Amino acid sequence: MDGISTYLYHGKLSVWEWHKIILSLNAGIATQLLLSLFKVKGVLHYGIAGNANPQLQIGDVTIPQYWAHTGLWNWQRYGDGPEDELALESNGDYTRTIGYLKFSDYNNGTECSKSSENLLNNVWYQPEEIFPVNGIPEQRQHAFWVPVNKHYFAVAERVQALSLGRCVNTTCLPRNPMVVRVKRGISANVFTDNRAYREFLYSKFNATAIDMETAAVALVCHQQKMPFIAFRSLSDLAGGGSALSNEAAVFTTLAAQNSVSVLLEFISLLSS
C-alpha cells in the first residue's frame, strides 16, 4: 500500500528490488523501464494490501487470480441514469458493461432500499486502454480483469501449506495466518479507509486485496506478454469494522514479513 516491491527474474534468478515507488502511474513506469532494460523472464510482485474480504484476517497472504484497476471512472451527470448513454460511449471510449456505483444508495437516512437523489449521481467503472506488444500499432484494446500467469498460479497452490508468523512480541493474531489463492484483487490511486466502499468493492467485484499499484504492474506485464503474479499480505480490514482492524499498526511488519516468506517459498518451488 505504501510502495511496490517486485522481483524480476533473469536466467540465473538474480534479483532487482524497487522500494517506495508509490501510486499506479509510477509503478507502471518502473515496471516498463525494468522490462525494457533487463532480460526478464517473469515478474513476481509482493507487499501488503488492505482487505475487503471479512472472512480473512490480518497476516493472511492472498494470491489473486485476476487484477483490475478500479480508479478509471466515467462520472455521469446529474439526472442521467443506467439507461442513458455515457458521453463518448458511442465512440467506444466509455462503456456501461462493467457497472456503476450509485452514490444515493449510501445517503445517510436511506431506508427500505429507497434513497433520495444525490448530486454526485453515478460513476461507471471503465477498462484500461492497452496496446499489446504483439498487437496492431495504434489500435487500442481494452482490459479490466487481467489474469496472472496460469503456470505461476498453479505453482502457487503448493505454497498454501506454508506456515506463517502469527505474533509480534507477545501480541498474537486470533489464528495462524494462512496463504490463500483468491479470485480477485483491485488497485486504484485511493487509500481505502471507508467501510461502506470496502463492502461495495467486495460485493460488486468479489475483491479481496485492495492496494494502489499491483494492477498497474499487471497491466504492463499483460501488454508486454510477460508472466506475472502478485502476493499481497493483508495488513488491515479496509475501513475498519472489528476490534482487530484497529491493531493494523501492530501487525504491519508481520504482514510484510509473511508476504516475503510466501515469495521466497514460491521462488524455491518455481526453481525446482
Residue 202 included in any domain: yes
Q: Domain residues for 41?
A: 6-70+130-271
The 10s digit of each residue's pLDDT in 168-199 is: 988 899 999 999 999 999 999 998 989 999 99
Residues 45 and 174 in one domain: yes
Give 111's DSSP letter. Answer: B
Q: Into how many domains does the chain fold? A: 2
Query: What are the φ and ψ backbone dihedral angles of 25, each rounded to 5 degrees?
Result: -60, -50
All cell numbers assigned to 8: 524480476
What number is the average pLDDT over the span 95-113?
A: 87
Residue 14 included in any domain: yes
The 10s digit of each residue's pLDDT in 189-236 is: 998 989 999 999 999 999 999 999 999 999 999 999 999 999 999 998
Residue 1 included in any domain: no
Q: What is the pTM of this model?
A: 0.88
State the CATH number of the domain containing residue 171: 3.40.50.1580
Residues 188 and 137 in one domain: yes
Residues 120 and 163 in one domain: no
Q: Whose grid coordinates read 517506495? A: 20
Residues 160 and 175 in one domain: yes
User: How far apart are the C-alpha atoms of 129 and 93, rounded to whole Å?
Assistant: 9
Residue 135 included in any domain: yes
